[in-house]
Amino acid sequence: MLTATDRYLARLIAVPMLGTLVIAAMLLVLDKMLSLFDFVAAEGGPVSVVWRMLANMLPEYLSLGIPIGLMLGILLAFRKLAMSSELDVMRGVGLSYGRLLRVPYMYAIALALLNFGIVGWVQPLSRHAYEALRFELRSGALGASIKVGEFTNLGKRMTMRIERSLDEGRNLQGIFVRATSRDGQSVAVTAAQGMFLATDDPDTIIFRLRNGVLVNDAPKYKTPRILSFSSHDLPIDLPQIENFRGRDVDREKTIPELMVIGRSAATPDKLRDEVRANFHFRMVEVAMMLLLPLAALAFAIPPKRSTSALGVFLSIVFIVTYHKINQYGEGIGALGKVDPIIALWGPFILAAGLIFWMYHVVAHRPGGQPIGALEFAFAKLGKQVVRLLRFGRKRRPVAAVEGAA
């Protein structure tokens, strides 16, 4: 049964947690969006595919943003309580830190289960769908757009250039087409207007040209044959599209699939190392979420009579550094240089030990503050920087100042 204090804490945590999660996800999406627009434009694909690719990347960004949101949501809530002395009142009426962490751990367990579902099942499938879209863009399966004013190759034997495109591509003007056959015959066509038409054959389309000239040349012709036309249908064979690969990459495997591959005796050693490294990487990322409430509490409470936000900064550095160390551990584990269990669970144990020590200092030592020494050092460093910035400045004499007054 939640008390009034629990509900108050839940509200304090929810707002900054959701805000941080949305901001982190949006920053990652915006960073990726620019590169995706460049990639799609370079491949000549429709702009709408960018939104499909971003949607498939969203689970990966959520898996990164959820731990950050959880950490900062709890940290900012407890920091607000500490700065307003509400935390001292709660402690004074007998509420221990362990009791106050009930609601944060409700959030942590729920979000850890959500993140486990994302990294274990949703993210591998969405990653494969994202790579499939990239493949289809490169192969032309999405219908490569013809760039106005540039030469576009349709297969290996046809080149096309369009001067203007009107009515969303349904009215093309200033057309040049050149096609060659295997026997050396070539056709060059210029036309004032044209449009593409579908046929019953999905591998062939018709390019209907109007008001143009066709030049047909072949080795057996002494001179090229020239034909003026008011309407001419030019069949175009679409290039064959290869099927995209299956989910063969370890990052595109679900957790049950990784377990099956890792336990199979037929799995090559190199593949087994890659699969085990990826499996343990996902596990330690989710497991760390269960320790974030303790870390957030330790980072949130500043020393008495201090308003420094150093704890917020250190919490972000901590969680980002831990993620990067895990990525490095996954890399060396996949190469077989270090056993994946040691490469990934070793840093987890060290980080867990640090978190438990910090929480013990805050919760069980009177006036304990694990980042107090760092705050003191940063304060002294700030004063030294200010002195250096002021060094060499000329001070106005006091007498001169008084005389001016």
The tens digit of pLDDT for each residue in 303-333 reads: 776 677 888 999 999 999 999 999 999 999 9
Cα-Cα end-to-end distance for the chain:
69
Is residue 296 over pLDDT 80? yes
Amino acid identity of residue 14, one-letter, is A
Is residue 124 over pLDDT 60? yes
Angstrom distance (rounded) from CA 79 to CA 86: 10
Is residue 405 over pLDDT 50? no
The tens digit of pLDDT for each residue in 10-31 reads: 999 999 999 999 998 888 888 8
Angstrom distance (rounded) from CA 344 to CA 102: 28
Question: How many Cα atoms are found within 13 Å in the side-chain-facing hemisphere of 248?
Answer: 4
Q: How confident is residue 398, by pLDDT bands cut at 50, 70 and 90?
A: low
Compute the mean pLDDT over every residue in the chain, rounded to the nearest whole number: 87
The tens digit of pLDDT for each residue in 176-230 reads: 999 888 888 899 999 999 988 878 887 788 889 999 999 999 888 888 999 999 9
Mean pLDDT value of segment 163-172: 82
Give the pairing of strands 151-153 and 186-198: unpaired
Longest dimension (CA), the chain: 107
* Dihedral of alpha carbons 66, 69, 75, 77, sign: negative
The strands making up 204-217's β-sheet, listed across from edge to edge, are: 151-153, 158-166, 171-180, 186-198, 204-217, 225-237
pTM above 0.75, yes or no: yes
Share of the chain above pLDDT 70, in %: 90
Mean pLDDT value of segment 113-133: 94
| 3-state SS assignment for residue 231 | strand
Is residue 141 over pLDDT 90? no
pLDDT computed for residue 248 by the predictor: 82
Mean pLDDT value of segment 377-398: 71
